[in-house]
Amino acid sequence: MTSHRIALIPGDGIGIEVLPAATAVLDAVGRRHGFTLGYDTFDWSCERYEREGAMMPADGLDRVRHHDAILLGAVGRPGVPDHVSLWGLLIPIRRTFRQYVNLRPITTLDGVAGPLRDAEGVDLVVVRENVEGEYSEIGGRLNRGFPEEMAVQESVFTRAGVTRVLDYAFELAAGRRGVLTSATKSNGIIHTMPFWDELVRERALPAVSWNQEHIDALAAKVVLRPREFDVIVASNLFGDILSDLAAAVAGGIGLAPAANLNPERDFPSMFEPVHGSAPDIAGTGVANPVGALWSAAMMLDHLGHAEAGDEVRAAFRAVLAETPVRTPDLGGGATTKEFTAEVLNRLGTAGGRPRQA
Ligand code: NAD
Ligand code: IPM
Ligand code: MN
């Protein structure tokens, strides 16, 4: 029987509540499809930071380097500065393991109303550059406490770094509806963004019809005409913002999944919901687990079990489409556990192809 070793990092807040939903569903689908997942759980979190002064141990990255994939909940907790929690854990994993593609599919789901009058049929993917761009350690603070106080933050866009994510996005678009939108802001940011635009022209595939949009206008279009988009490729920061925006258009950020991919597979890829640790609802047991379940399904695709991944997606879609069971962010009264139980009930009965015993 095939087996995979998964590093589990629940993290903080609702990360701790949604990961058990994901592992329960993964185990159930694994049994049906003839593979097993073995988990090593790491308590790397803000709680660990408060206890031991670091989000993860000094050799943390080495401890997960040989896993087949990493499944992460969310990190961040009030009291610990976000740049400490994120630069102490999430961002080093993305960078060290060259997870330069952050793939964030956004699809409307039957039974999920969303805030717009007419947003059915949305099916887009944000391809977010994940290891460089606006997220950089270069810069500093000067003249602290003086009227001349200032902060400088450099962005880094390399030819190799931009090219590889554009190539990924064009290939992805070629295998979908053949439409790619590149998000930049070349009218205001005059060095990095025109460079990105130039590379888009260089790397464009003939099979893909593409255009570039200014991020501000694009944000409005994603709200007004979300169905028009297929693949949106964007820098680290723009992709971050657009993915929450598009997820909200499709019904809420609790639904949205993400795959931090190392396409060369020389290091593990990491799967995590788009949302954060949601301190405002943490501990109440009502976090929407769909983002985590969908991320787990993307992990299954990555591990070569796309049929099992489809079965997971079909199961949560069926619960949303056919039952009133949903968490409060979607207007329901179900807990994370109740929703997950319903998904487990549906596995294999909702369009997936169960393996013959
Ligand atoms: P957030 O995504 O945690 O929450 C934003 C809003 O969405 C909140 O009202 C929250 O209750 C709601 N929400 C999010 N996920 C939900 C779910 N699954 N079900 C129901 N409601 C949900 O974003 P934030 O408030 O900006 O950040 C909170 C903390 O999380 C910060 O420390 C931030 O740095 C961190 N964060 C971590 C990650 C990550 O680990 N990948 C991602 C984003 C934010
Ligand atoms: C995400 C998050 C992170 C990011 C933060 C928490 C650093 O918002 O994964 O979308 O911006 O990458
Ligand atoms: Mn984000």
- pLDDT, tens digit (0-9, with 9 covering 90-100), for 304-318: 999 999 999 999 999
Is residue 94 located within the same domain as residue 151?
A: no
Q: Which atom of ligand 2 is nearest to the CA of 274?
A: 10
Distance 25 CA to ligand 2 centre (A): 25
Mutation to probe ligand 2, out of 86, 235, 244 (largest number of atoms < 8 A from CB): 86
The answer on pLDDT for 254 being more than 90 is: yes
Q: Which of 185, 218, 249 is the last residue of a domain?
A: 249
| 109 located within any domain | no
Nearest ligand to the C-alpha atom of residue 282: 1
Q: What is the pLDDT of residues 142-192, one digit of tens each?
A: 999 999 999 999 999 999 999 999 999 999 999 999 999 999 999 999 999
Nearest CA residue ID for atom 5, ligand 2 = 86
Give a yes or no: residue 110 inside a domain. no
Per-residue pLDDT at 352 exceeds 60: no
Rounded Cα distance, 166 and 164, in Å? 5
- Asked, for residue 197, whether it belongs to a domain, the answer is yes
**Structural domain includes residue 3:** yes
Q: Is 80 in the pocket of ligand 2 (CB under 6 A)?
A: no
On whether both 229 and 279 belong to a single domain, the answer is no
Do 226 and 119 sit in the same domain of this protein? yes
In terms of domains, do 16 and 38 share one?
yes
Residue 10 sits in the same domain as residue 65: yes
CATH of the domain at 133: 3.40.718.10
Domain limits for position 282: 1-99+257-357
* Catalytic machinery residues: 135, 185, 216, 240, 244
Ligand 1 mutation pick, 56, 70, 93, 253, max ligand atoms within 8 A of CB: 253
| Residue-level pLDDT at 160 | 98
* CB of residue 240 inside a 6 A radius of ligand 2: yes
Indicate whether 105 belongs to any domain: no
Shared domain check, 134 and 222 = yes
For residues 338, 342, 345 and 351, what is the CA-based torsion angle, rounded to 10 degrees?
Answer: -160
pLDDT per position as a tens digit, 131-147 = 999 999 999 999 999 99
My answer on whether 80 and 9 are in the same domain is: yes
Q: Within a domain: residue 229?
A: yes
The structure's pTM equals 0.96
Same-domain pairing of 34 and 128? no
Q: Is the domain of 228 the same as that of 347?
A: no
Half-sphere exposure of 91 (CA within 13 A, CB side): 16
Round to whole Å and give the CA distance between 334 and 349.
Answer: 21
**Which of 19, 271, 272, 275 for mutating ligand 1's site (highest number of atoms within 8 Å of CB)?**
275
DSSP 217-269: HHHHHHHH-GGG-SEEEE-HHHHHHHHHHHHHHTT-GGG-EEEEE-TT-SS-E
Both 149 and 265 in a single domain?
Answer: no
Question: Do 223 and 285 fall into the same domain?
Answer: no
Based on the fold, state whether residues 143 and 37 are members of the same structural domain. Answer: no
**Residue 354 confidence (pLDDT) above 70:** no
- Domains held by the chain: number: 2
Give the other-Cβ count within 10 Å of 57's Cβ: 13
Closest Cα to atom 4 of ligand 2: 240
Task: Look up residue 355 and give its DSSP letter.
Answer: P
